[in-house]
């Protein structure tokens, strides 16, 4: 029994740390330092936007205090996916660095604006999950709308 437990330990630890996560269109961007082209980033941006779209309805129910258990589970699942996608782009790390590094890595203004809006939406939507309220939801929804607009200008 003890040997089986020890054999499973690395798998449990890897799964808990996110090592077993499925590949996404956003993989690899976090490691890049220079000139990510809009065309190559569009698939990742589409995935981030689709996840923002998927989280909006259950979060609206949560913020309005009309959420079901299914809404809460859906919102948590989609938020975890959103955080994974954003982490794999390196956006959060980029915004902690100098503005010059952002310009060098994300030279297309539409992509940079999309990233900023998507990140803001994720932060506000996360706040709604932690402390359900319409103010954070509204700020997240506005940033989400901005991300949608910027996405359509990514070529």
Cβ–Cβ < 8 Å for 30, 101: no
Within a domain: residue 96?
A: yes
Within a domain: residue 115?
A: yes
Separation in Å, CA 26 to CA 20, 45, 62: 16, 8, 28
Within a domain: residue 15?
A: no
Q: pTM of the entire structure?
A: 0.83
10-residue block means of pLDDT along the chain (155 residues)? 41 40 89 91 97 97 96 97 94 71 84 94 97 97 98 92
Three-state SS string over the chain comes to: CHHHHHHHHHHHHHHHCCCCCCCCCCCCHHHCCCCCCHHHHHHHHHHHHHHHHHHHHHHHHHHCCCCCHHHHHHHHHHHHHHHHHHHHHCHHHHHHCCHHHHHHHCCCHHHHHHHHHHHHHHHHHHHHHHCCCHHHHHHHHHHHHHHHHHHHCCC
Boundaries of domain holding 123: 29-152
Within a domain: residue 135?
A: yes
Within a domain: residue 12?
A: no
Count structural domains, the chain. 1
Within a domain: residue 48?
A: yes
Within a domain: residue 100?
A: yes
Within a domain: residue 5?
A: no
pLDDT of residue 137: 98
Q: What is the pLDDT of residues 36-79, one digit of tens each?
A: 999 999 999 999 999 999 999 999 999 999 999 999 999 999 99
């Amino acid at each position: 029994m003890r040997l089986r437990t020890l054999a499973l330990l690395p798998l449990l630890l890897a799964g808990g740390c996110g090592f077993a996560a499925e590949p996404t269109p956003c993989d690899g961007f976090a490691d890049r330092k220079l000139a990510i082209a809009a065309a190559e980033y569009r698939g990742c941006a589409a995935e981030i936007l689709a996840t923002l779209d998927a989280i909006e309805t259950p979060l609206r129910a949560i913020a309005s205090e009309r959420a079901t258990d299914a809404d809460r589970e859906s919102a948590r699942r989609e938020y975890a996916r959103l955080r994974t996608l954003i982490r794999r782009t390196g956006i959060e790390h980029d915004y902690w660095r100098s503005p010059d590094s952002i310009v060098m890595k994300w030279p297309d203004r539409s992509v940079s604006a999309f990233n900023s809006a998507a990140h803001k939406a994720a932060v506000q939507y996360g706040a709604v999950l932690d402390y359900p309220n319409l103010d954070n939801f509204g700020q997240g929804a506005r940033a989400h709308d901005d991300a949608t607009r910027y996405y359509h200008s990514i070529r």
